[in-house]
Structure 1
């Protein structure tokens, strides 16, 4: 590897480290802005940021050292040409082959919001623009070199082929989509999706070994052969679409950050909603139900039902996992906060030490944990929870889950794929479709999830 290649490699690593460092700094600033920040978390984030600063400093020193080495080599080459005037003249720069770091076709310094990328996607399809197609082909060639494993998934198992969205655009718009997948981000254990295949296979122990007391000396020890059953988890495709007018394509208005944000949000919402509401395998479908029947519900009456669901999950999992999160709709969380007895509120507010049945962290929607219940379980607010359940189609549910048993497989860095269809040509519109692959399961253990539902969870009155 040449010095130039080494410097390009290190600078690429520095860019990744710098992004991670800035993310830690943002989290630290947000945490310090709270009225009562978690000092242990502050210390942890500061230590992580300092460690990244140290790595960046070392990388800068390495680049500086390589630059100095390159300068010495260049000086030696010049000196050699001066002392050997009869030497053959080297070939021109553009007449030799060389290996180096070529700039990407779509990059943040030239196409910050993805406008150029979307222009090319739409114009190559709608107009047959040769130059746009050439740039897209070059982009996909770059993807094959740098992210070849994702290209295999982009082709799918049928004819649903597409283009990978540039990674810097995925990174830029990811924070804007966090608010539409709170359960997936906060209450699930993330895994990397396998590079191939349309199912994820994991083992589930169905017959455990046994241990028993030995009634008499030399009696045979208890023996039960362990048995497992494969749990096949399908890899699913989440897709979202957006129609862009021909005028926007031709005149370049309204197809950059707004369009990408909308597409990313559609994708994220579908994924999170699927985890919660999908028939048969979704959280609502497999969770062990606790009925809360009450014509005049109160927070004090609801809380024991949550503990009932917690007890059911704990009994099912024992030492395998503990319930960690309670996920509810925003209307239910705000209703809990509205519950005030004659002397104290059910949910205490930030920096207000009162007798209470829980604590509100003061975080906004999609910004992480919203509260803590008296038994230590963390509250997640997610509006992908259905609110049309029950006989009156006006009930929601509350879910009690262990994070260690909520498994979500996604592509690393969540790359998405995009393609254009001119199905609305008569309306002068081009349909953009984004899609990605994921798999999930809550079913490793029977009754490993819990939920509370019933007439006590109808639309609240404030």
Structure 2
């Protein structure tokens, strides 16, 4: 039986969900009306009329739900207030005239430890076992610990909790934050490029993000004479719709592993986090139509015997293309390449050096590496032109006619837009037990959206036979 604090927390979450449903319905009605206004239509279509009627019904139902939940919350808070009054009354003491020891005159501040902590549950074994046991066996103690954990999350990370909790009990449990940071050491391509993108918080609702792009600008010119007409051109925009995607993975944990609790934390928790992170990053780079490889304008490097000295001007050509297309709207900042390309560049020898080097780079060097950086832990180095190198093994190495080429991307970081949940983007939930095989299905997932298409040809890539499998 949950305590009054857990009960109030669950009611508050229920109230927030109802309020979000009401807001979402109203916003969608606004979007439908705005779309009709933008199209110059006096009437809505039949489908739009039906959808608007459905949304008003949902909004009215949400209003009724909110009123009922608020009454329920008021009753729960009244009970809590009464309990607090009784507790205060129990603490009251009558003065006896006896002198108190001096140490009782010192104020003390205490703290309550989190339910799941890194020092007591380093690999998430207890958390994952509680998730599984609550869904498989309806374990009361496990359910109580999870409820207490979700209440702690509501206090410390309210926005994350709003997105994580659904209509059913623990349909989207928030993973303890310290566990989501542990995926980096595991063997996986992970998300080096995603980590340097221009990050934005994902909107609370909706399955797309709408961006207005100015495709026809205003104009300016020299006035022919006094009082003559000045240059005029009507501005026009083209909407860019960015879909919200879901990176997800699942795994079935056996009842034996749940009962005995040996090894499930490494196999399940960390591996699922790795795969979701890798899938997200690979999507940014390779997805059809919108991925970096399909958006970037190509600078072709054709060479039967490629060298670093010959490839470097191609990188500068890509950087020049970025700046020429963006002008004052952005500048090239990063070079994204596969690890084999970085080590191949590191292996190249030269007796000549660039005419222009970036600040603080040695004159007689083709690049400078960061000795404190390793894979997926930040920039690997800086090229002479100032481009920061990010090594990402989600870049394909089977491109080109010979299926043995990779690519190198030159990008302006500020135009690599990635929307993710603010805090703790990883969640895990237990689906219906796999009764026939004595297992529980666990799912890790993350919502995200991205775009590199605010400006045409704002991304550039170096590709061609000069980027075949390197020989060391």
The alignment partner of 2:225 has SS state of coil
Report what 1:227 is aligned to: 236
Change in 2 beyond 3 A, CA 1:311/1:386: same
How far off is 1:205 after superposition? 1.4
Report what 1:184 is aligned to: 194
Change in 2 beyond 3 A, CA 1:376/1:128: same
Report what 2:77 is aligned to: none
The alignment partner of 2:423 has SS state of coil
> What is the distance in 2 between the residues matched to 1:434 and 1:226?
45
Report what 1:196 is aligned to: 205
Deviation by residue 1:243-262 (Cα, 9 ceiling, x = unmatched): 43332211111123554222
The alignment partner of 1:437 has SS state of strand
Deviation by residue 1:35-77 (Cα, 9 ceiling, x = unmatched): xxxxxxxxxxxxxxxxxxxxxxxxxxxxxxxxxxxxxxx9xx9
Report what 1:407 is aligned to: 417
How far off is 1:79 after superposition? 8.7
Among 370, 383, 386, the alignment partner of 2:393 is 383
Per mean C-alpha deviation after superposition, the further-off stretch among 267-276 and 444-453 is 267-276
CA contact (8 A) 1:421 1:432 kept: yes
How far off is 1:356 after superposition? 2.8
Q: Does 1:264 align with 2:270?
A: no
How far off is 1:279 after superposition? 1.0
Unpaired runs of at least 5, structure 1: 1-73, 85-99
Matches within 5 A, 1:364-375: 364-375=374-385
> What is the distance in 1 between the residues matched to 2:92 and 2:125?
44
Deviation by residue 1:286-321 (Cα, 9 ceiling, x = unmatched): 000111111111111111111111111111100110
> What is the distance in 1 between the residues matched to 2:155 and 2:362?
57
Report what 1:114 is aligned to: 124
The alignment partner of 2:149 has SS state of helix
Report what 2:325 is aligned to: 316
Among 142, 145, 157, the alignment partner of 1:135 is 145
Matches within 5 A, 1:145-164: 146-154=156-164, 161-164=171-174
Report what 2:309 is aligned to: 300
Change in 2 beyond 3 A, CA 1:109/1:381: closer
Among 322, 340, 346, the alignment partner of 1:331 is 340
> What is the distance in 2 between the residues matched to 1:238 and 1:315?
34
Report what 1:82 is aligned to: 96
Q: Does 1:449 align with 2:459?
A: yes
* Number of equivalent positions: 366
CA contact (8 A) 2:397 2:406 kept: yes
Change in 2 beyond 3 A, CA 1:272/1:168: same
Deviation by residue 1:126-155 (Cα, 9 ceiling, x = unmatched): 334333234334433444555443344336
Change in 2 beyond 3 A, CA 1:213/1:378: same
Among 210, 221, 225, the alignment partner of 2:219 is 210
Among 279, 287, 290, the alignment partner of 2:288 is 279
> What is the distance in 1 between the residues matched to 2:404 and 2:167?
40
Per mean C-alpha deviation after superposition, the further-off stretch among 127-136 and 430-439 is 127-136
> What is the distance in 2 between the residues matched to 1:424 and 1:392?
45
Change in 2 beyond 3 A, CA 1:328/1:106: same
The alignment partner of 2:264 has SS state of coil
Deviation by residue 1:345-394 (Cα, 9 ceiling, x = unmatched): 99x9xx99672322222332222111211211111110010111111211
Unpaired runs of at least 5, structure 2: 1-87, 99-109
Among 105, 124, 135, the alignment partner of 1:125 is 135
Change in 2 beyond 3 A, CA 1:158/1:328: farther
CA contact (8 A) 2:430 2:442 kept: yes
TM-score by length of 2: 0.70
The alignment partner of 2:442 has SS state of strand
CA contact (8 A) 1:236 1:437 kept: yes
The alignment partner of 1:276 has SS state of helix
CA contact (8 A) 2:361 2:367 kept: no
Change in 2 beyond 3 A, CA 1:372/1:101: closer
How far off is 1:432 after superposition? 1.9
Deviation by residue 1:163-221 (Cα, 9 ceiling, x = unmatched): 11123433x426547972111112x1111111222222222111212110112122112
Pairwise CA RMSD: 3.3
Among 443, 446, 449, the alignment partner of 1:433 is 443
